[in-house]
């Protein structure tokens, strides 16, 4: 049910996954690491979280239940917290793409023949996020062999207090709106996808891949008894039977309430004719690249 709604609506608002005390605790732990960075976008990655002793605080039974409910055979793609500077008049990502920062995540190697949800991100706001605080925005513009148009789509701006939690479909068009206020916006982001989908290879020479590389390091450090977490981190030695048993033992009875409040976040966002053309053209290029990648990957596997 959650999966289908994510495909159709692009996001789902959840009951808070952490208490106010837990959010304050995480912020207190993260503060020192963030304070040592001077870039406009600062990170606490999975290895930092492990070294801070926070993996069990973050990957609670309730959160694990959510992930395995949305995608039964999940593997992590992102696991980090980040904050962005305030006093900005433009989005902090893709601001120069001629679409005011609206974009799809092109690292989602989407299977165009599969209509099920494939790439999901969980966001938990660690600061209050209002309309001027860099709120996450998403559009349910159709994606597939024949992509949709902006004019026939809905736009949403997701605001909320500390602890506000939501899922979004990573293949959906989205952006972080400008953080115009002085306070840094801080979130916890956990992305996951089906183990059956293709995952881009890590390249140590690419700076942005460092967080994924550190996440793989955590896989080697997590105790053997943490079956579900090790599986999420990509441990291929864990079988389906072991995962099933761990799910029954660790998260049996845990459930997450999905709030039917999507309409509350709807906003008006008008795209002109040129932006409509650019959006459609970008989708076609993305689709072309996915098809080429799939053909190349198939040939590579056959040659091995």
Predicted confidence at residue 11, as pLDDT, reads: 97
Residue 169 contacts residue 117 (beta carbons within 8 Å): yes
Q: Which domains does the chain have, with CATH numbers?
A: 2-303 (2.60.120.620)
220 is written with which tokens? 């080697």
Look at residue 304 and give its three-state secondary structure. coil
Query: Long-range pairs for 232-241 at CB < 8 Å and ≥24 separation?
Result: 232/59, 232/67, 232/74, 232/75, 232/76, 232/192, 233/75, 233/76, 234/75, 234/76
Q: Which residues of the chain have pLDDT under 50?
A: 300-304
Per-residue pLDDT tens for 275-299? Answer: 999 999 999 999 999 988 877 765 5
Instruction: Give the whole-angstrom CA distance, residue 215 versus residue 234.
Output: 9
Q: Say what the pTM is.
A: 0.94
How far the first Cα of the chain sits from its last, in Å, is 39
Phi then psi for residue 52, to 5 deg, are: -85, -5
Residue 299 neighbours by CB under 8 Å, 6+ apart = none
Q: What angle do CA 63, 48, 17 make, to 5 degrees?
A: 20
Query: Percent of the chain beyond pLDDT 70?
Result: 97
Residue 163 contacts residue 19 (beta carbons within 8 Å): yes
Instruction: Give the whole-angstrom CA distance, residue 20 versus residue 236.
Output: 35
Per-residue pLDDT tens for 30-47? Answer: 999 999 999 989 999 999
Q: What angle do CA 75, 302, 199 make, to 5 degrees?
A: 20
Predicted confidence at residue 27, as pLDDT, reads: 98
Predicted confidence at residue 297, as pLDDT, reads: 64
Residue 109 contacts residue 290 (beta carbons within 8 Å): yes
DSSP 20-46: HHHHHHHHHHHHHHHHT--SSEEEEEH
Predicted confidence at residue 1, as pLDDT, reads: 58
Per-residue pLDDT tens for 186-195? Answer: 999 999 999 9
Predicted confidence at residue 302, as pLDDT, reads: 45
């Amino acid at each position: 049910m959650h999966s289908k709604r994510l495909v159709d609506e692009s996001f789902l608002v959840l009951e808070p996954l952490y208490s106010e005390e837990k959010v304050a605790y995480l912020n207190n732990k993260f503060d020192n690491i963030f304070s040592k960075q001077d870039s406009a976008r600062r990170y606490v990655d999975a290895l930092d979280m492990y070294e801070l002793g926070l993996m069990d605080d973050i990957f609670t039974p309730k959160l694990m239940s959510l992930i395995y409910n949305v995608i039964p055979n999940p593997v992590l793609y992102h696991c980090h917290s980040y904050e962005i500077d305030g006093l900005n008049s433009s989005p902090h990502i893709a601001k120069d793409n001629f679409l005011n920062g609206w974009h799809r995540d092109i690292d989602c190697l989407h299977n165009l023949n599969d209509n099920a949800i494939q790439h999901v991100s969980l966001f938990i706001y660690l600061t209050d996020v209002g309309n001027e605080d860099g709120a996450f925005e998403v559009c349910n513009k159709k994606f597939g062999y024949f992509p949709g148009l902006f004019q026939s789509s809905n736009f949403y701006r997701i605001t909320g207090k500390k602890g506000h939690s939501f899922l979004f479909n990573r293949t959906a068009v989205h952006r972080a709106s400008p953080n115009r206020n002085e306070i840094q916006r801080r979130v916890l982001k956990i992305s996951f996808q089906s183990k059956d989908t293709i995952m881009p290879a890590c390249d140590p020479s690419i700076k942005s891949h460092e967080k994924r590389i550190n996440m793989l390091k955590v896989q080697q450090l997590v105790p053997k008894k943490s079956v579900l977490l090790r599986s999420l981190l990509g441990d291929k030695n864990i079988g389906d039977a072991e995962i099933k048993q761990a799910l029954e033992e660790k998260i049996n009875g845990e459930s997450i309430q999905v709030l039917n409040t999507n309409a509350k976040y709807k906003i008006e966002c008008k795209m002109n004719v040129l932006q409509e053309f650019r959006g459609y053209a970008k989708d076609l290029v993305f689709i072309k690249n996915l098809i080429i990648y799939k053909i190349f990957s198939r040939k590579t596997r056959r040659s091995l």
